[in-house]
Chains A and B, each alone.
Chain A
Amino acid sequence: MPQVSLTVNGKPHSVEVEGRTLLVELLREKLRLTGTHVGCDTSQCGACVVHVDGESVKSCTMLAVQAEGADVTTIEGLASADGTLHPMQEAFREYHALQCGFCTPGMVMSAIDLVMKHPEGLDEKQIREGLEGNLCRCTGYHNIVKAIAAAAEVMHGRRTELAQAAE
């Protein structure tokens, strides 16, 4: 069986996989990083989004062997070592942008990538369009959009506090 060597959340791993093993299966089943979820089988829902070399990727749509040498970040790797949440995680909590929590890891990972790609800022329409690859069935997206707008302000250093950043 093929061997894959990759870095996940800063830790090096070398894992034996089948040729057909998906990256999400490697993360969930081999590394027991179950925060990355599988919500569909047609690359539509985005619950499995992780960062591969800094880009958001649907980990259900990438073979594990394609991640050879890659630097992968999952939801488990976002908070600081002292437990401080990433501003996007903090904003999701502050703005009640999650209910059942199942789409949340993928939504947060996509949102971070979206914000990082728009240092100039994002309006509501851009955020809604930017979430095209992620489905949420609980929140109606209302609070997700607010949370991302607020987190963007903090991530780009325009504000230090989340409160009212979305107004």
Chain B
Amino acid sequence: MNVVTPFEGIGASVRRKEDLRFLSGRGRYTADIDRPGQAHAYILRSPHPHAAIRGIDATAARAMPGVAAVFTGADMAAGKVGGLPCGWGVKNKDGSPMAEPPHPVLAVDRVRHVGDPVAVVVAATRAQARDAAEAIVVDYAPLPAVATIEEALRPGAPAVHDEVAGNLCFDWHLGDKAVTDAAFAKADRVVTFELVNNRLIPNAMEPRAAIGDYDPSADEHTLYTTSQNPHVIRLLMGAFVLGIPESRLRVVAPDVGGGFGSKIYHYAEEAIVTWAAARLERPVKWVADRTESFVSDAHGRDHVTRAELALDGEGNFLGLRVATRANMGAYLSTFAPSIPTYLYGTLLAGVYRTPAIYVEVKAVFTHTVPVDAYRGAGRPEATYLLERLVDVAAAETGIDRIALRRRNLVSQFPHQTPVALEYDSGNHAATLEAALRAADWDGFESRRAEAKARGKLRGIGVSTYLEACGLAPSHLAGQLGARAGLYEVGTIRFHPTGSVTVLTGSHSHGQGHETTFAQLVADRFGLPVSQVEVVHGDTGKIPFGMGTYGSRSLAVGGNAMAMAMDKIVAKGRRIAAHLLEAAVEDVEFEGGKFRVAGTDREKTIGEIAMAAYVPHNYPLAEIEPGLEETAFYDPKNFTYPGGCHVCEVEIDPETGHVQVVNFTAADDFGRVINPMVVEGQVHGGVAQGVGQALLEACVYDADGQLLTGSIMDYNLPRAEDLPSLSLSHHDTPCLTNPLGVKGCGEAGAIGSPPAVINAVVDALRERGVRHVEMPATPARIWGIIHGGGPKGAPAIAAA
């Protein structure tokens, strides 16, 4: 008997399967795991932004209670441990490769940022390891450091890596310069604008952690780690760092408490615990303190940009020229080079028809923590630039900011941009109109007047965004420098009694895959979601996978599952044809049933599964027993979610405090599997975008010391910083993947920062303000209002 559960299929807001364990304290995060006999690692880190290491004396530390070992960079070098690899190579304008200096797991003779790991102590308890680390004497010779892009590019600046001239990692470009220059030559109007995209520290609520475990009898290594992509970690660490074949290395990423990009990368601590566990033949566990996260998790953003927009007399965009300098930090994190290039430059058309675009990006090494992808990764930077630029252009041409957007929106699909992407679908006019309507844009002036009567400055801002996600077509990514494929893998395993295990290479760290992926299967086979278990995060169980980032889980991982389900259906039809004594061509499949067309003769998927595993009446000469299929799905194109955000703020001129009072989003995510989960993703993304716009700033002093090194100093959004959000959808299916899905994980963080800042500037426009840098802290706003601070200068003002 087939159980039809229409409310659990695609489009239903099924309550999450994973919630019960999280709500009852039974989640199992890496720090919750203890291995028998485990020791604890504490990592000693550089307090200096830049210093030579003249010597390390660990004699006293080794004699401390409970200490099993102290390892330094020299020990790891002697153990033939390689450096941390970079997974993406970018070429300079002249075709030469980027500078790719070594990134040792533990610093050897030089430290290059505060937090650079120098030594590891392994002891019976965490407290003992920490105590012993304090007894290590490192003889540092401090050297001059550079923390900012400007300083690093200054002639004669201290070199982060001796072999990298001028601290320049690469000098890259995209687009046709001659065509773009020609467009500017015929422009009626050119709007020029400079802005900073502020550096952020991701701060997933779960600090990173890793446990190395070695089984000497099998010569097998296991790493438990807070990762978004365990197979990628296995590949990178096994092949490039520790020289362990994948067949003898298992990486488990259990419950992971948020990632937002920061848990994509292969980090030193993963290699340290895996290596130390084998060396000591004892499990080794490391859990970061939050303070440690601030100086060891990859940071995000950190761009300085000059942009010019060319317009004709009617406000049509003719060309865009962009020159960006991006901070890479001290070393290249796993995907760092791709972020300010192929995930940024390619997005500079946005939702607009701009026919000519030329972008050049200089990536710079500094004595700061490495910078890599953080929620949105390149796309928020592109969107912020475009949407601020359009507002500035509107103000300077006198064209209404909505009318200017409407005039330039892409409306025909497919649409080829001058920066490599081909948009397959979308309806940007519809999402714009939906958001304006929901936000009561037309009624704003009365609200502004009402606020003014209360002594508040009220402003409204809009942002129309588009992003490319669902990374990525492997052949294209390979041409652009990716050193890996970017497909995804899914296995559908029917069990003899009809329940299903799904193995996915995607990883859930809050996204709800255990529910939404189960819905996909439930929908196809007419099963209740309770009968479908989704397994992720373990290279010992899952064939392969590229993990979760770039809003790719459903768009790539979900489509891999869809392909595997196609194979199940194809095999099921053959089995059903045998059982029903019909021709395969005459067997149709719908709602979990195989039926001989035009008859009532049918078999449920459960009966087919039983027949496949108990093949007594089965065509064994033609079909193998069993019902399990695996598919690798490599996307044909990126997917292009888009939409419109409208933000309304009130500023208290007495304090400079900006309060978001209304926030409206109308998005197009293609086909939606679970609307409740999708809205949750938007809520969280918008909160992070509002955080970037108003609260969050990673601040280094001129010497390279991190000033915002704890949650006391780095301002994360709290409940009272945000309003309840108003969300709606106008979904157009993606045309390039079987499920028609686009991706929603990053959109909130991409569309929201310019909507917020456009609202802030709108509130201050009558005071002659052209731009306000992020974060628009009370100190910065008060300075602007009261003349105590620079108007829109790029310097970071502490909150």
Contacts and interface: CB of A to CB of B under 8 A. Distances in A.
Contacts of A145: 719, 724
B667 to A, nearest CB: 14
B683 A143 contact: yes
A137 B684 contact: yes
Given A44-B711, A98-B23, A137 B260 contact: yes
B127 A101 contact: no
A40 B711 contact: yes
B761 to A, nearest CB: 23
B680 to A, nearest CB: 5
B27 interface: yes
B23 A100 contact: no
B15 A100 contact: no
B24 interface: yes
B686 to A, nearest CB: 6
Contacts of B19: 92-93, 98, 101
A119 to B, nearest CB: 21
Nearest to B683: A140
Interface in B345-403: none
Contact of B510 (A47, A89, A94, A138): A138
Given A42-B710, A135-B718, A140 B257 contact: no
Contacts of B147: none
Contact of A35 (B13, B25, B204, B687): B25
Contact of B719 (A20, A39, A128): A128
A104 interface: yes
Interface in B692-750: 710-712, 716-720, 722, 724-725, 748
A37 B29 contact: yes
B192 interface: no
Contact of A144 (B127, B685, B719): B719
Given A40-B711, A102-B258, A35 B206 contact: no
A45 B18 CA distance: 23
A15 interface: no
A50 to B, nearest CB: 10
A137 B203 contact: yes
A143 B24 contact: no
B256 A100 contact: yes
A41 B206 contact: no
A156 interface: no
B205 A100 contact: yes
A75 B677 contact: no
Interface residues of B, number: 58
A142 B683 contact: yes
A125 B723 CA distance: 9
Contacts of B413: none
A105 B25 contact: yes
Contacts of B207: 38-40
Interface residues of A, number: 57
Interface string A107-128: 0100000000000000011011
Nearest to A94: B15
A104 B16 CA distance: 14
A18 B676 CA distance: 46
Given A99-B510, A99-B512, A101-B255, A41 B290 contact: yes
B204 to A, nearest CB: 6
A92 B15 CA distance: 10
B688 interface: yes
Interface centre among B13, B18, B718 (most CB of A within 10 A): B718
B718 A89 contact: no
B26 interface: yes
- Majority secondary structure of chain A interface residues (helix, strand, loop or mixed): loop
Contact of B206 (A37, A74, A108): A37
A76 B25 contact: yes
Given A35-B25, A92-B19, A135 B725 contact: no
Contacts of B724: 124, 142, 145-146
Contacts of B748: 140
B45 interface: no
Contacts of A70: none
B321 interface: no
B453 interface: no
A131 interface: yes
B712 A101 contact: no
Interface string A134-159: 11111111111110000000000000
Contacts of A89: 23-24
Interface string B18-56: 111111111111011010000000000000000000000
A44 B712 contact: yes
A36 interface: yes
A136 to B, nearest CB: 7
B684 A101 contact: no
B24 A140 contact: no
B530 interface: no
Contacts of A101: 18-19, 21-23, 27, 255, 257, 510
B290 A40 contact: yes
Given A45-B711, A85-B24, A102-B29, A137 B204 contact: yes
Contacts of A67: none
Given A94-B15, A140-B684, A140-B725, A34 B205 contact: no
B205 A45 contact: yes
A128 to B, nearest CB: 4
Nearest to A89: B23
Interface string B278-290: 0000000000011
A103 interface: yes
Contacts of B290: 39-42, 45
Interface of A: 18, 20, 28, 32-42, 44-45, 47, 74-76, 78-79, 85, 89, 92-94, 96, 98-105, 108, 124-125, 127-129, 131-132, 134-146
6 nearest A-B pairs in the assembled complex, by CB-CB distance? A35-B25, A102-B257, A101-B22, A140-B687, A100-B510, A99-B510
Interface of B: 13, 15-16, 18-29, 31-32, 34, 127, 203-207, 255-258, 260, 289-291, 509-512, 676-677, 679-680, 683-688, 710-712, 716-720, 722, 724-725, 748
Given A104-B23, A140-B684, 15 more contacts: A36-B25, A38-B31, A41-B291, A42-B290, A98-B19, A100-B510, A101-B23, A101-B255, A102-B258, A104-B22, A128-B720, A128-B722, A132-B718, A137-B716, A139-B683
